[in-house]
Amino acid sequence: MGFDAMAAACCVLPVLVSLLAIRFVYVLWRSGQPLSGSPTAGLRCLIVLGSGGHTAEMMNVVTAVQKDRFTPRYYVAALTDNMSLQKAQVYEQSLIQSGEKTIKNAHFVQIYRSREVGQSYFTSIATTLLATLHAMWLVIRIRPQVIFCNGPGTCFPLCVCAFVLKVLGLGWSSIFYIESIARVKKLSLSGLLLYKLRIADQFFVQWPQLQQKYPRAYYAGRLM
């Protein structure tokens, strides 16, 4: 009995692992490819606001997107950042007042940060774990179809969790990362990771010299 179970496990486990590996490679390959077919309804968006200059750049993107295509919109900001969500709220309010056909379809969510400036590396392990679990919970709950992010660290666990859902076949999201205009010569850490790990479907930089260093990135002008 025990032997049979062991034997079964020995057979099933490698199969499962190989299936997962194949799926992983497929998702990696598929992620950079444009979607086929035209979406018939609005896409559920996760918009990660990174505080300060990052938020200002992201709000310029949000202002330029077609609101009927990118809806509903879930804005996410760090728990310690009390300015960003307020800016997004003011913007969404202005849309309603200007009489655009927007039903109340904006949501505002706060997220734990992996690491605060100056935090010790030891306590960072615990807070990173907490932030990742929280990110997973948010991604499962929201099931975004589109993720907009531009750093800093807040967006990384969210993107990784969204990627894991893709591998597990629990939801598909297109991840757009727009590196901050402050990065002229080198990518930020979160940008570099999302680029190298190929988690970002489309990766934008705002300076042509940076595009030359990272050929898979797109340069389509500046946001600011």
Asked whether the beta carbons of 176 and 184 are under 8 A apart, the reply is: no
Choice between 92 and 179, CB closer to other proteins: 179
- Please report how close the Cβ of residue 14 comes to other proteins at its closest, in angstroms: 36
Helix (H, G, I), strand (E, B) or coil at 22: helix
CB nearer other proteins, residue 196 or residue 222? 222
Which residues does 214 contact at the CB level (< 8 Å), separation at least 6? 187, 195, 203, 205
Spatial strand order of the sheet with 174-178 comes to: 106-111, 73-78, 45-49, 146-149, 174-178, 202-205, 218-219
- Name the minimum Å distance from CB 53 to other proteins: 4
Residues with Cβ within 8 Å of 22's Cβ and at least 6 positions away in sequence, in order, are: none
Q: Residues in the site for other proteins, rule: CB under 8 A?
A: 34-39, 43, 52-53, 56, 60-61, 63-66, 69, 146, 174, 176, 178, 180-186, 188, 201-202, 204, 206-207, 218, 220-224
Nearest approach, Cβ of residue 17 and other proteins (Å) = 32
User: How far is 156 from 161, CA to CA, in rounded Å?
Assistant: 9
Measured from the CB atom, the residue of 154 and 174 that comes closer to other proteins is: 174
- Minimal distance, residue 209 CB to other proteins, in Å: 9
Closest approach, Cβ 194 to other proteins, in A, equals 16
| Segment holding 177, helix H or strand E | strand 174-178
Q: Which is nearer to other proteins, 61 or 136 (CB)?
A: 61
Q: Which is nearer to other proteins, 105 or 136 (CB)?
A: 105
- The closest of 215, 196, 197, 9 to 205, measured between CA atoms, is 215
